[in-house]
Structure 1
Amino acid sequence: MTVPPERAPRRPALAGRVLPLLLVVALLAPVAFLFVQQRRLTEDDRALAVRERMGVEYLRALGPVTLALVDTQSAAVAGRTASREALTRAVEDAASVDTRIGDQLRTHDRWTGLRAKLEALPDRALTDPEAAFVAYGEVTDLLLALHRKVREGSGLMRDPQSDSFFLQDAVSEELPEALVTAGRLADLATLAARRTAAEQLRAGPDLAGLRVAALTPATDLVADLRAAVDSTESAKLGANVLAPLDSYQRAVERLAALSAPTGPPQAGGAPGAGGPTELAAARNNAQSAARQLQPVILDGLDVLLRERIDRLDRERWLAGTAAGVAVLLVAALGAVLLAAYRRARRRAVGEHRADEDSGAAPGGAGWEPPGEARGLAPLGTLAPAEPRTLQPAGRGPAGTERWGPFDAAR
C-alpha cells in the first residue's frame, strides 16, 4: 500500500499576519505622539505657573520691606529717629521666604547682599541728612534690583496671559519703583528746602528728573491695572482692583501737582507748587493707597495662577483618560484580530487533518488493494458464467438409449 505524503498545515499568508500588527501600531503611534506632546506642553506651562506663584509669594514678602524702608528713609532725611521695628520684622519675614524658595528663584545672593546693607543702616538718624539720603538710596537701588530678579527668576516677566502679565508688571516693577522714587522726590524736596537759593537752582534738574521718575511708573501702574481689568475674564478682579486703584491715582495726581515747578526757588521753600510738608503729605497718601493696592494685585494674580494650574491639571487628566481609552480600544482591536488569526489557524489545521483522513481511507487517492487480491474483481461484482448446454434429465451418456425412440419420432 502506498502511503500518501504528509502535507504541512496551511498557514495564513505573511501579509495577513503582519497587516493587523501594522494596523495596531499605526493607531497607537499618533495617539502616543499627541499624548506626549500635550503632556510636555502642559508640564512646561504648569511648571511656569508654579514658579510664578513662588514669585508672587516672594513679592508679597518684599512689599512690607519696601514700605518700611521708604518710611525709615524719610525719617532719616528729616532728622527724626524712626522705629526700626517694622523694618526688622519685614526683613525677618522676607528672610524666611528666601530660605525656602530663594535658591529656586536664584535670588539668594541678591537677598544676602541687600540684608547686609539693611542691617548696616544706623538705628539713629544720621547727623548729615544728605549722607542719609545717599545711604538709603543705595539700599533702595538694591531692593529694586531684587524685585527685578524675582520677576526674572520666577518667570513672571514671561507670563503668557494678558491679564496676569499686566498684573505682574504692575506689582513687580511699576509699584516698587513708584514707591521708591516718590519717597526720593519728597525727601529731596525736604533737603532742597534747607539749601540756599543757589543750591536749590542746582537741585532743580535733580528734582525734575525725580518727578519724571516718580510719575512715569505710577502712570504705567495705572495703565497696567486698567489693561488687566479690560482683558480679564474674572469678574472679581475688576471689582477688587478698581476701588484702591482710583485712590492711588488721585494720590499720584496730587503728588504730581505739588511737585510741578512754578517759578524760581526761594530759600526755605521747595522749587514746586507745594512746600516740603505738602509734598511729604502727598507722598504719604500715595504710599498709603499703594499699601492697600499691593495685596489686592498680588491676590488677584495668585488667583489667576491657581486657576491656570487647575485648568492644566484638568487638561492633563483628560488627555491621560483619552489616551487610556484609546489604548483600551486598540487593545480590544488587537484581541479581535488575534482571535481571528487563531481561528484561521485552527481552521487550517482542521482542513489538513481532514485531508489526511480522506487520503488514507479505502478508495481514496493513493490507495491500492492488497497484493493477493490483485487481478480479482472487486467485491460485490459477479463474474460472467461459462456457457453451458442444458440437457433434459436422463440425456446423459447413460440415458441416451432411453430417449432414442422419442428422438426418432420427433
Structure 2
Amino acid sequence: MTVPASRVRRRPRTPGRLLPLLLATALLLPVAFLVVQGHRMVDADRELAERERLGVEYLRALGPVTEALVDAQTAAVAGRPVPRDALDRAVEAAAAVDTRVGDELRSTERWAGLRAKLEGLPSRSLTDPEAAFTAYGEVTDLLLALHGKIRETSGLIRDPGSDSYFLQDGVGEEMPKAMVATGRLVDLAVLMPQRPAAEQARSLGELATLRFAALQPAGDLVGDLQTVVDTSESADIGAGALTPLDSYQRAVEALAALSRPNSRTPAVDLTKLAAARTQAQNATRELQPVILDELDRLLRQRIDQLDRDDLLILAAGGVAGLLLAALGASGWLARRAGTPGGRGTAPGEPTEATGNPRWEPPTQSGRLPAGPMPVLQPAGQSPEPDRWRPFDAAR
C-alpha cells in the first residue's frame, strides 16, 4: 500500500498582502504633514488678526484721551480753567480697556505710568504758562509713545493688507501726531507775545518746527485716506470719510497759512488760528470712528476668510486620508479574494479537478476502514489492461 506523503502547508504571503497598506500609509504621512502645517499657518494668521482687533479697540479708547489732553493743555496755557471732567472720563474708559486687553498687548505697565502722569496734572491752570506748556508736553509725548506701543504689540504695524495698513497708519500714528502738534502750534502762538523780545527769534524757529511737525503727519493722514478711498472696494469708507477729510484738509491748509508770520504782519492772528485748529479737531473727531470701524470690518472679514480656509484644509486632508485608506484596503482585500482559504494552491498538488484520489484520514478510533484497501496508483498513470491478466496467471 502506497501512502502519499503529508502535504506541507504553504506559508501565507504576508509581505505581498500588506504592501498596499504600507504604500497607503507612506502616502498618508506627507498628506497629514501638509494638513497640519497648513492648519498651523492659518491659525497663526487668525491669532494675529484677533490681536489686531484688540489694538483697534485700544486705539479707539485712546482717541478721546488725546483730544481731552490737548484741550486741557490749551486751557492751561491760556490761563483758563482746565476741563478735567472730559479728561477723567476718557482716562477711566481707557483704563477699563487696558484692564481687559492690556496683558495680551503688554501695555499695562506703560499705561500705569501714563495714568499717573495724567492724574498728577493740576486741576487748575498754572501761574506760569511756560511751565504748563512743558508739563503737558511731557504727558502728550508719553501718550504718543503708547500709541506706538499698541500698534507694535498688536501687530497693526505689520498688517499684510494694503487698505488695512494705510488705515492703521493713519489712525494710529499720523492722526494723534497731527492732533498733538496742532495743539502745540496754537499754544506756542499764544505764548510768543508773552516772551521777551530777545527770545522772539528763537520762538519763530520753534513755531516753524511745530508747523512742520503738524503739517507732515496731517499730509500723511490725508494721503493714507485718499489712497484707501481711491483703491478700496468698500463704499462705506468713501462716503463716510470724504466730507470730514475735505474739512480736515482745508483746516490744515489754513493752519499752515495763519501760523506763518511775514514782514507785513509779524504777529499771528490767534483768533483765526484757534478757529482753524477747532475745525481740524472736529474733522478728526468725525474721521476717527469711520477709520476704526472700517479697519475692524476688514479684520473681521479676514478672520472669516481664514476660518473658511482652515475648514477647506481640514476637509481636503480628511478626503485624501479616506481615499488612501480605501485604496490600501481594496488592494489588501483583492489579494485575499484571489487565495481561497487565505492561501494559494501549490503547483502539482492533487485536487478534485484532476480526478486523482486523495488520502482519507483515519476514523476517530484511529483504525483504518474495514475491507480491502485500494491500491493506489501514482498520479497520472492508468491501471493495467485486462488483457495481460491471463498471461500473468500462467506464469
The TM-score bracket by the shorter chain reads 0.7 to 0.9
| Residue aligning to 1:307 | 301
Q: How does 1:316-335 map to 2 (within 5 A)?
A: 316-335=310-329
- For the residues of structure 1 that align with 2:392 and 2:122, how far apart are their CA atoms? 153
Q: How does 1:204-219 map to 2 (within 5 A)?
A: 204-219=204-219
Distance 1:348 1:91, change over 3 A: closer
| Residue aligning to 1:244 | 244
1:286 matches 2:286: no
Instruction: Mark the runs of 5 or more structure 1 residues left unpaired by the alignment.
Output: 389-410
- For the residues of structure 1 that align with 2:11 and 2:374, how far apart are their CA atoms? 38
- For the residues of structure 2 that align with 1:142 and 1:200, how far apart are their CA atoms? 29
| Residue aligning to 1:96 | 96
Root mean square deviation, CA, Å: 2.9
Give the deviation of 1:7 after TM superposition: 2.0
| Residue aligning to 2:386 | 381
Cα pair 2:164 2:295 within 8 Å, conserved: yes
- For the residues of structure 2 that align with 1:83 and 1:137, how far apart are their CA atoms? 17
After superposing the two structures, state which structure 1 stretch, 198-207 or 84-93, moved more.
Answer: 198-207
Distance 1:387 1:80, change over 3 A: closer
Distance 1:133 1:381, change over 3 A: same
Cα pair 2:73 2:132 within 8 Å, conserved: yes
Distance 1:362 1:216, change over 3 A: closer
Residues 131-158 of structure 1: CA distance to partner in whole angstroms, max 9, x if unpaired? 1100000000000000000010100000
Q: How does 1:75-94 map to 2 (within 5 A)?
A: 75-94=75-94
- For the residues of structure 2 that align with 1:329 and 1:372, how far apart are their CA atoms? 58
After superposing the two structures, state which structure 1 stretch, 142-151 or 82-91, moved more.
Answer: 82-91
Distance 1:348 1:372, change over 3 A: closer
Give the deviation of 1:379 after TM superposition: 8.5
Task: Read off the aligned partner of 1:148 and give its amino acid letter.
Answer: G
After superposing the two structures, state which structure 1 stretch, 231-240 or 115-124, moved more.
Answer: 231-240
Residues 129-187 of structure 1: CA distance to partner in whole angstroms, max 9, x if unpaired? 11110000000000000000001010000000111000000000000000000000000
Cα pair 1:178 1:217 within 8 Å, conserved: yes
Distance 1:85 1:339, change over 3 A: same
Give percent identity, aligned residues only.
58
Q: How does 1:122-201 map to 2 (within 5 A)?
A: 122-201=122-201
1:31 matches 2:37: no
Residues 188-231 of structure 1: CA distance to partner in whole angstroms, max 9, x if unpaired? 00011223433322211000000000000000101111122233
- For the residues of structure 2 that align with 1:17 and 1:223, how far apart are their CA atoms? 70
Residues 81-119 of structure 1: CA distance to partner in whole angstroms, max 9, x if unpaired? 032111101000000000111111111111000000000
Larger gyration radius, structure 1 or structure 2: 1
1:8 matches 2:13: no
Give the deviation of 1:320 after TM superposition: 1.2
- For the residues of structure 1 that align with 2:375 and 2:350, how far apart are their CA atoms? 25
Task: Read off the aligned partner of 1:381 and give its amino acid letter.
Answer: D
Give the deviation of 1:380 after TM superposition: 8.1
1:21 matches 2:21: yes
Number of matched pairs: 375
Give the deviation of 1:34 after TM superposition: 2.5
- For the residues of structure 2 that align with 1:91 and 1:371, how far apart are their CA atoms? 114
Give the deviation of 1:236 after TM superposition: 2.3
Cα pair 1:4 1:359 within 8 Å, conserved: no
**Which of 336, 339, 342 is equivalent to 1:342?**
336
Give the deviation of 1:346 after TM superposition: 3.1
- For the residues of structure 1 that align with 2:383 and 2:270, how far apart are their CA atoms? 141
| Equivalent position SS for 2:390 | coil
Cα pair 2:350 2:356 within 8 Å, conserved: no
- For the residues of structure 2 that align with 1:256 and 1:199, how far apart are their CA atoms? 22
Give the deviation of 1:45 after TM superposition: 1.2
Cα pair 1:200 1:265 within 8 Å, conserved: no
Cα pair 1:10 1:348 within 8 Å, conserved: no
Distance 1:373 1:46, change over 3 A: closer
- For the residues of structure 2 that align with 1:264 and 1:148, how far apart are their CA atoms? 41
- For the residues of structure 2 that align with 1:45 and 1:385, how far apart are their CA atoms? 103
Task: Read off the aligned partner of 2:4 and give its amino acid letter.
Answer: V
| Equivalent position SS for 2:274 | helix
After superposing the two structures, state which structure 1 stretch, 354-363 or 297-306, moved more.
Answer: 354-363
| TM-score normalized by the length of structure 1 | 0.84
| Residue aligning to 1:40 | 40
Task: Read off the aligned partner of 2:27 and give its amino acid letter.
Answer: L
Residues 333-371 of structure 1: CA distance to partner in whole angstroms, max 9, x if unpaired? 122122113223436636369946669986579xxxx89
- For the residues of structure 1 that align with 2:5 and 2:175, how far apart are their CA atoms? 99
Task: Read off the aligned partner of 2:277 and give its amino acid letter.
Answer: R
| TM-score normalized by the length of structure 2 | 0.87
| Residue aligning to 2:365 | none
After superposing the two structures, state which structure 1 stretch, 28-37 or 91-100, moved more.
Answer: 28-37
| Equivalent position SS for 2:343 | helix
After superposing the two structures, state which structure 1 stretch, 351-360 or 188-197, moved more.
Answer: 351-360
Task: Read off the aligned partner of 1:289 and give its amino acid letter.
Answer: A
